[in-house]
A and B are shown apart, each in its own frame.
Chain A
């Protein structure tokens, strides 16, 4: 249990809606985003991309482009001295020197005095290709006669994983019921509203400053230094405001960053680059597509005995984070319930399509579509209420899951009860369909980088008595920085508005993993708490030295037993004078408890875990299959909620995204070419589409997170696909097993059942 001090009580009451000052720059149009950046003398860069899904580059002629007035340089793959790089697998080059593997692959780049000239110059570059047979289907790609995309990956398998826990064979042998299904999930784009943009500035010392808004600036910095062969200290990332990320900007767009850096180093001038919306869709990094075959073994009473999954994920032409996403997709759902036996076979397969990466929740949300559908299929066969079946099997506090996750605080059962109660599970409207789904998501991964499991923060008392907080954790609207101000405010007993948060310059902010794995509130917030507590100690010590008596700090005031009072400004000036200019600074580092994590990836992967249950209410038109989603109730255990306004915003937004991917979105391809690369054809929800969403918070008190808080930003999306699939099945009498759930697919189910009018 966390101490229930007056400050903590205040945190969860009066300051629950605190918003940081940055929000005012956004409502007045003054916030500067990546696309707004302009530096004196700046050039504009553009990329020539492959128009073939698979080809060899025989020759590139750049002389005409170079001669064009206004063009400053042209770069091709053969000009590069770097080696292939990657986040997990080194299979990618900023510009491909001889072999292109998808429509959109980077072939050449131009820097010119304005973007129109750069665009025109691209047309003057002549590329001679020798087209190669291409493969678009993951099944065909694994056949011996299939074209090989990369030399060292026979059968085009980029990554594979097989895992067995418990005794799945006997689980299935002894089962009273086995249900199975096959599920198809396309690529989804995070569709953040601001396309990735950057300005690279080559510095006189040979280094690079990259201005870009990215979720994990320090990891991008490491990669840039590695690929460009620069000393790490000569690479600096400075962040403008970010126009949305949702996991899609953990690494921003690495090729874009590298190309702009190379163009800047070549010309000695700043080079701005930004993707068009079409490039975002065709050459960004959407989330992996998946084919899931799954079987589940149950006892007659609805007890889960075992689960088998055969997963094939579509990597596209290069790997980005797809291996890690595939791993989460394959496993995370196994820990929602007590499932004693698991058998998983997963393969990630190269195809000549857009490379894939991640999107909010790392694939956990699309696996939810399959896992939760299967549970309801079993419930229907066993004639058990889907709520009862979930309550019977769901994970509880203190348990260790089948993959070794150690569950501390856990309000999953309460989430299930609250979501169903609120939606009217037992008071159903006639003709409406109801569906339920549950989720777990790791909050604060400790295995992402075994050498850096936690986070650190630095917090200083300024001469004016205000506080500056330096963190590497990124806020692009989730409310992280407001929450950090609140956390520090508790430790220092002052108003959050007196604490300014700085996070956007790698030169001065502490190294961090950044915004991924729901680690910021839990791990980053804990570091802030520890740093603020250190500063508090230092303030007390310095005050007592200053007035020569012991002091106490209470309600933002420092006083001695004899009644002498000092304020923060006086202490800051005193210390400043004593040290000739230093500021009182607290450094906090949170190193999570050691966890065992073996070669089979069994072990406790995160500081803690967040939980959620969503209930959906839908209606379908029996004549057309048209779907109306009336309502989604989203019950969440994210520990103590530090900021209710921001937390509710995460739920509204994340559920809306989950609804979008479940019902509207998804990539379409034509011979490997993205067929819907616009926001008109790749439909994301508008205000008219989003159903009524009700957030509910089950506030557990987590022993690890700051003041009991856990992460929320990713799990908000996870239960949506399963809840909607089950609600549709309740109304239609059968499951749509292919995302998105469209009227056409529902109509097919109605027709097959003979229920369509």
Chain B
């Protein structure tokens, strides 16, 4: 295998690693960078547990060759909150009972995160479609969908509040 130098942003911080560009981004994140939140449930892009965000798009990191990450911004669940407060999606997942075993949760939240970035007020059908590549065997999805809708509402309220505050100032 040919080892190459790959540089990209991981949760807004530059990282440089030496890896086979054909190696999967999932293995690179987990084995080289110690970023363990993307999970391997199948290794074939069928379960979505390894979902990360690559330049704004939710992708199965097990199917992305590491070389494709070069120059991109990769976001994982470690990078959706500042470490002090939690993201509205994280809070809503806890409050709505959307987490059981939790193995799908990181990937599920990343798919939801990508959806809400593009579509801040999704209809339930759009939520279902956005997470249809993320399998969950525990929950039947109902409480996950509720959590995503709730987080969307909270984020929109925050946005409105922010705009109102700016207008006042």
Which A residues form the contact surface with B (CB < 8 A)? 17, 19, 23-33, 35-36, 190-195, 241-246, 276-277, 476-479, 645-646, 648-649, 651-657, 678-680, 684-688, 690, 693
B136 at interface, CB cutoff 8 A = yes
Contact A192 B101 (CB under 8 A): yes
Contact A241 B102 (CB under 8 A): yes
- Give the distance to chain B from A502, nearest Cβ to Cβ, in Å: 18
Residues of B within 8 A of A277 (CB): 41-44, 46-47
Partner of B137 from the list A195, A244, A645 (CB cut-off 8 Å) is A244
Contact B86 A27 (CB under 8 A): yes
Which B residues form the contact surface with A (CB < 8 A)? 30, 36-37, 39-44, 46-47, 49, 76-78, 81, 86, 89-90, 93-97, 99-106, 109, 127-129, 131-145
- A26-B99, A649-B97 given; A680·B46 CB < 8 A: yes
Contact B36 A244 (CB under 8 A): no
- A27-B86, A194-B103 given; A652·B137 CB < 8 A: no
Partner of A194 from the list B39, B99, B109, B128 (CB cut-off 8 Å) is B39
Contact B100 A29 (CB under 8 A): no
Contact A193 B99 (CB under 8 A): no
Q: A29-B78, A687-B145 known; 17 other A-B pairs, CB under 8 Å?
A: A24-B90, A27-B102, A28-B90, A30-B37, A35-B39, A192-B137, A193-B103, A194-B39, A241-B101, A277-B42, A277-B44, A653-B138, A655-B140, A656-B141, A679-B42, A687-B129, A690-B140
- Which of B36, B135, B138 has most chain A Cβ within 10 Å? B138
Contact A36 B97 (CB under 8 A): no
Residues of A within 8 A of B102 (CB): 23, 25-27, 31, 241, 243, 477
- A27-B86, A29-B37, A277-B42 given; A193·B104 CB < 8 A: yes
Nearest neighbor of B125 in chain A, beta-carbon distance? A688
- Give the distance to chain B from A489, nearest Cβ to Cβ, in Å: 19
- Give the distance to chain A from B108, nearest Cβ to Cβ, in Å: 9
- Give the distance to chain A from B64, nearest Cβ to Cβ, in Å: 18
Cα A335 to Cα B141 with chains together (Å): 32
- Give the distance to chain A from B25, nearest Cβ to Cβ, in Å: 16
- Give the distance to chain A from B54, nearest Cβ to Cβ, in Å: 17
Cα A31 to Cα B145 with chains together (Å): 22
Nearest neighbor of A689 in chain B, beta-carbon distance? B132
Partner of A476 from the list B86, B90, B101, B140 (CB cut-off 8 Å) is B101
Residues of B within 8 A of A194 (CB): 39, 41, 101, 103
- Give the distance to chain A from B66, nearest Cβ to Cβ, in Å: 15
Nearest neighbor of A245 in chain B, beta-carbon distance? B101
Contact B100 A193 (CB under 8 A): no
5 contacts between A and B (CB under 8 A): A244-B137, A477-B99, A478-B100, A678-B46, A679-B47
Residues of A within 8 A of B90 (CB): 24, 27-28
Partner of A193 from the list B41, B78, B131 (CB cut-off 8 Å) is B41
- A244-B137, A678-B44, A686-B135 given; A33·B144 CB < 8 A: no
Partner of A24 from the list B39, B40, B94, B137 (CB cut-off 8 Å) is B94
Cα A31 to Cα B103 with chains together (Å): 9
Residues of B within 8 A of A29 (CB): 36-37, 76-78, 106
Contact B36 A36 (CB under 8 A): yes
- Give the distance to chain B from A408, nearest Cβ to Cβ, in Å: 29
Nearest neighbor of A197 in chain B, beta-carbon distance? B40
Contact B137 A276 (CB under 8 A): no
Cα A192 to Cα B101 with chains together (Å): 9
Partner of B97 from the list A30, A33, A191, A645 (CB cut-off 8 Å) is A645
Residues of B within 8 A of A25 (CB): 102
Contact B129 A688 (CB under 8 A): yes
- Give the distance to chain B from A198, nearest Cβ to Cβ, in Å: 15
Contact A680 B44 (CB under 8 A): yes
Cα A110 to Cα B86 with chains together (Å): 43
Q: List the 7 shortest-distance A-B pairs measured between CB atoms, nearest first.
A: A29-B37, A477-B100, A26-B102, A243-B103, A656-B140, A652-B140, A645-B97
Cα A224 to Cα B61 with chains together (Å): 36
Partner of B94 from the list A23, A241, A243, A244 (CB cut-off 8 Å) is A23
- A193-B47, A649-B143 given; A686·B97 CB < 8 A: no
Nearest neighbor of B130 in chain A, beta-carbon distance? A687
Contact A33 B46 (CB under 8 A): no
Contact B77 A28 (CB under 8 A): yes
Partner of B105 from the list A26, A32, A191, A651 (CB cut-off 8 Å) is A26
Contact B41 A195 (CB under 8 A): yes
Nearest neighbor of B106 in chain A, beta-carbon distance? A29
Cα A194 to Cα B142 with chains together (Å): 21
- A35-B39, A655-B140 given; A684·B97 CB < 8 A: no
Contact A684 B132 (CB under 8 A): no
Cα A495 to Cα B41 with chains together (Å): 36
Cα A652 to Cα B138 with chains together (Å): 8
Partner of A693 from the list B97, B131, B140 (CB cut-off 8 Å) is B140
Cα A688 to Cα B142 with chains together (Å): 11
- Give the distance to chain A from B97, nearest Cβ to Cβ, in Å: 4
Partner of B100 from the list A191, A653, A680, A684 (CB cut-off 8 Å) is A653
